[in-house]
Amino acid sequence: MFRRNNNFINRPVTLNIPALPSLQQELRIKVFSSFESQGNFEYEQIPRNYALHFIVSGLGEFVCDGKSYQAGPGDIFMFFPGMQIYYHDYPDTPWQYYWLCLDGNNLELLLEQAGLSPQKPFLKSVNPELFALFISLEKAFLSKQYSPFLPVAAAWQILSVLSRKPQGKRNLAEQIKDQIDLAQFGYPSVEELAEAFKVNRTTLFRTFKQAYGCGVKEYLDSVRLKHALSLYKSGVKLDAIGRICGYGSEEYFRRIFTSYLR
């Protein structure tokens, strides 16, 4: 009998890809989800899909074919079809993580190039760029306004980041800036940044201001507007630019973008 409980929140989104024959077997993300344990989470299964898990916070244990790994923030564990999987968090350190199902031709070979295989299903403290990438993907996929090509592009981007060696130890201000600069598919809010780095808004603002001479929101707005300008020069329509750059109100975006162009 497999062990499992339902003391968690899971938000899976099944993704759409273009109905083009050339892309039906292309590497792609089929399902993208955020997961939040409510404590004492445990699950056991024999997966049928290739599922990558990126831990945001918490601490637990991942057991694959009898081999055990302690899994915490920044770590990745991978499900391969047919393997015996058991995983759980610790009572006082519940997990939060992103998980996604991958599909496509030569998938195991591609994963092996990124450092993951049935013999090595766990990666310790991977490149921190992944956190920014997953935040932006979550915002894009939940918006339901993403390009149908995004599940393909994002899958390749994830493998690309996994394959790169992380930079040396970076301070908090540099990490915050990285999260904004690397948010390719959607921008984090100030609240999301504070939550991600486990600091309050005052600390976030003060740390960033001391390092770069401006507030986090000011820098975030400048990055978004520069991106908007680049899209505008490429001929993208304003309503689409507003959605791409994460502005909820088209009227508000038109007003500030018109002012930015002056």
> CATH no. for residue 58?
2.60.120.10
What pLDDT is attached to residue 20? 52
- Would you say 221 and 227 are in contact if contact means Cβ atoms under 8 Å apart? no
Q: Which stretches of the chain drop beneath a pLDDT of 70?
A: 1-7, 15-25, 127-128, 165-169, 184-185
What pLDDT is attached to residue 48? 93
What pLDDT is attached to residue 88? 93
Closest CA to 179 of 168, 163, 190, 164: 190
What pLDDT is attached to residue 16? 63
183-214: per-residue pLDDT in tens?
A: 766 778 888 888 777 788 899 899 999 999 99
Q: Is the pTM of this model over 0.85?
A: no
Range of the domain at 18: 1-168
What pLDDT is attached to residue 1? 45
Domain count, the chain: 1
Domain contains 224: no
